[in-house]
Amino acid sequence: MKQIGIWLDKREALGLILENNKEREFSISSELDFFNPKGGSRSKTRWGPQDVVQDSKYLETEKHQLKRYFDNIVDTLGDVDELAIFGPAEAPDKFIKALEEDYPTLAAKVQTKQKVDSMTKNQFKALVKEFFKFGNQYF
């Protein structure tokens, strides 16, 4: 039985694969560009027009980069029996939504999705092992 736990945010995904009493780790960088759009600037003349910041361009670019990131994660997962997803903020929610839209068979194998702040690799490994050892009774 192949069980995988993933902790992901917008920067990277850490994974732990448990299969045949062996464990294997993987890490995937998101390669997202973190945009910090500055506010519009004034013209040289007093009360002149302002430059408008195009948030839609930044959001559209981020959407395509997230799709590539999630596709890389799914390619790394391969064939899996049970999947547990952990992470802060909205990245796990967006990942689950992408799974439901593009990979419904994989989305059906998700056992849990939990909000978990940043943690060390050892804390993450312990969390995944405990989850799969005791099943879903705690979550």
CA distance 124 to 68: 24
The model's confidence at residue 4, banded by pLDDT at 50, 70 and 90, is very high
Ranges of each domain in the chain: 2-33+54-134
- For residue 48, the model assigns a pLDDT of 63
pTM: 0.80
Averaged pLDDT for residues 24-53: 72
The CATH H-level (homologous superfamily) assignment of domain 2-33+54-134 is eRF1 domain 2 (3.30.420.60)
